[in-house]
A and B are shown apart, each in its own frame.
Chain A
Amino acid sequence: DIVLTQSPALAVSLEQRATISCKTSQNVDNYGISYMHWYQQKPGQQPKLLIYEGSNLASGIPARFSGSGSGTDFTLTIDPVEADDIATYYCQQSKDYYTFGAGTKLELK
């Protein structure tokens, strides 16, 4: 299985930039596509797709969310952070079946 590693938590101030990282145990790129996706989950709710294939914004997602990276190192950036963005963020790969990171909880400083 491809293992995805995320930091457990990140503290950020409103209106600042948040950078959430995800490292994979194997390369998740293939033919120029990064099979890395990002989700947001608020307490008591289902996850919501934010970014697909490394850097593509899902439908209806604000442009303050962006994704970058390739190979084994990926980043989700939120700039600027708004109060509604306080949530847990998961990365997920689809290069070899589907596995998720353990999530990064975004907290206010």
Chain B
Amino acid sequence: QVKLLQSGAELVKPGASVKLSCKTSGFTFSTSYMSWLKQVPGPSIEWIGWIYAGDGGTNYNQKFKGKATLTVDKSSSTAYMDLSSLTSEDAAVYFCALTTEGTFDYWGQGVMVTVSS
């Protein structure tokens, strides 16, 4: 079955960067679109962007351009998201999700990122 396993919680200092991972199994990663999403209680869920694992092509929410960078490693069926220059506004739970035809069909368990000195 489809599985998306995300890395553990992160505590990062303001101004630092963090790289989140999402290891997948149970589907053909190399022909899939992987999205990343941000959830903060109250403001709800925001789509950050997707990456096509086949050729590394990306599409970002304008709001997250320059903040998030999506990459994949096809050899390990893993998707990554780099978040740079972190501030308190970036504190959230981040999810990876398998994306098909506009829907987020399967989600990782989420990873909490805390930004604090």
Contact = CB atoms under 8 A, between A and B. Distances in A.
Interface in B40-68: 42-47, 61
A57 to B, nearest CB: 12
**Chain A interface SS verdict (over half):** loop
B29 interface: no
A80 B105 CA distance: 24
Contacts, number: 49
A102 B43 contact: yes
Contacts of B101: 52, 94
Contact of A49 (B47, B103, B110): B103
Interface of B: 35, 42-47, 61, 95, 101-110
A74 interface: no
**Chain B interface SS verdict (over half):** strand
B44 A103 contact: yes
Interface of A: 35, 37, 39, 45-49, 52, 58, 90, 92, 94, 97-103
Nearest to B47: A98
Contacts of B43: 102
Per CB-CB distance, the 5 closest pairs between chain A and chain B, nearest first, are: A94-B102, A46-B107, A98-B47, A100-B45, A102-B44
Given A97-B61, A99-B47, A52 B103 contact: yes
Interface centre among A37, A90, A100 (most CB of B within 10 A): A100
Contacts of B61: 97-98
Contacts of A58: 103, 105
Nearest to B62: A97
A49 B2 CA distance: 14
